[in-house]
Amino acid sequence: MIPRYNRPNIEKIWSLENKFKIWTEIECLISEKQALLGIIPKKAAKDIRKKAKFKVKEIEKIEKDTKHDVVAYINNVSKYIGDSSKYFHFGVTSSDIIDTSFSIQLKQTSEIIRKNLLDCIKILKIKSKKYKNTIMIGRSHGIHAEPITFGLKLSSFYFEFKRNLNRLDQAINEISVCAISGPVGTFNSVDPRIQDYVAKKLKLNSEDISSQIIPRDRHAYFFSVLGILASSIERFSVEIRNLQKTEVLEVEENFSKYQKGSSAMPHKRNPVLSENLTGMSRYIRSAVIPSLENIVVWHERDISHSSVERIMAPDITIATDFALTRLKGIIKNLKVYPKNMKKNLNMLGGLHNTHNIMLKLIEKGLERGIAYKIVQDSAMKTWNNHKEFSEVLTKNKELNKFLTIKDIKMIINDSKNLKNIDWIFKNKIK
């Protein structure tokens, strides 16, 4: 990932230093259990635990000749272990180490992503309650429909991100697996109890049947969950972008003192953070298809998935972390303009009340089709002539047979449109 979108805490997880550190711990645990089972001498396990170390630059130099990173790593570590090195990496394969390490790295990054997601959820809950009664127009197809509140709008994102949290927890569990099963997954050269031991020590689940690699449906599920999360991030971002349009301006991203919106037009205050998240979301979702394709490998093992994961996993998790961090800041610092919301609500002269008028006519005994036509006639006159809807209604002779001026005034009441908002928040947002 380019430095612009990197955060040090998650970048470190994908460093070669951290990867080889994890590899070393896995190898030490394997040796420990092998010694306990009498497979290798106890002294060898102690030597491996005490002396096993590596140097990244040395491994990279060795790999230029071996063309195999695990072999290069083994050669480097063995140099420091000495005589007991013949029992290092005893009976296991590269996949045992790489795949189990990959699980740990994904788990480590997921914990950071989860915390950021949880922070977003908490802020959304606070903001939802704060703007519970802040009335605004609800839009259908981008067109004015009926009133809602900004708090209700935010609450839809609150619950959406809660669902994302549940999916992420499931995905973390899905990829938190250990596989130490040897060549082609038969446990022929490695005792099955070693896998369970290593898994327990590393706080991972022990894989059921792994062939020679951990089945990639697990990872496909993980990256698909990140893809869904990215779409939720984009949905929020697009909402902000639309509501920040000059002619709408119901909300606005925070604009700092020395910030510049345009190199050419000094007046510009652009929703650049939300636009950035739209792009980041597209990139995160790009991992879904490759992760699905990685499920398919030849027989018990090939490495067709490997290059994809080496590029994709760091970049996509780093991008997700960045996106959630930025989203958190947008939500927290969002400027809300209730006056503009009220102004936009009344832009069409009260046309957002058409449904309530129609329902009242039906209650009075009219057929739905007839009631619809009567209200639509008045609505179109309001729309075309820029009149107040209530004024037009009072001059509709057909409608006046069923509704008095008093009835109309009682129906055209925005507070009644939102009579159940308190119930929603009391029963749903606890």
The Cα–Cα gap between 194 and 97 comes to 13
The Cα–Cα gap between 347 and 383 comes to 10
Q: 258: helix, coil or strand?
A: coil
Q: 403: helix, coil or strand?
A: coil
Give all strands (DSSP E) within 346-430, no chain letters: none
Reading the block at residue 138, the tokens are 């609800």
Pairing between β-strand 205-206 and β-strand 177-178 as defined by DSSP bridges = parallel
The 3-class secondary structure across 87-120, one letter per residue, is HCCCCCCHHHHHHHHHHHHHHHHHHHHHHHHHHH
Tell me which residue of 208, 213, 212 sits closest to 185, measured CA to CA.
212
Give residues with Cβ within 8 angstroms of 141, minimum separation 6: none
Q: Centre a 10 Å sphere on the Cβ of residue 59 and count the other Cβ atoms it contains.
A: 21
Tell me which residue of 97, 58, 103 sits closest to 77, measured CA to CA.
58
Reading the block at residue 355, the tokens are 């449904």
Tell me, yes or no, if 181 is annotated catalytic.
no
Q: Centre a 10 Å sphere on the Cβ of residue 98 and count the other Cβ atoms it contains.
A: 23
- Angle among Cα 424, 429, 430 to the nearest 5 degrees reads 120
User: Are the CB atoms for 278 and 238 separated by under 8 Å?
Assistant: yes
Tell me, yes or no, if 219 is annotated catalytic.
no
Residue with tokens 């380019």: 2
Reading the block at residue 92, the tokens are 């296991």
The Cα–Cα gap between 214 and 36 comes to 26
Reading the block at residue 90, the tokens are 């005893």
Considering the candidates 140, 141, 256, 267, report the single residue annotated as catalytic: 141
Question: Within a 13 Å sphere around the CA of 279, how many CA atoms are in the beta-carbon half?
Answer: 7
Distances (CA, A) of 61 to 68, 71, 78, 94, 293: 11, 12, 15, 19, 33
Considering the candidates 15, 68, 189, 262, report the single residue annotated as catalytic: 262
The Cα–Cα gap between 380 and 403 comes to 19
**Residues with catalytic function:** 141, 262
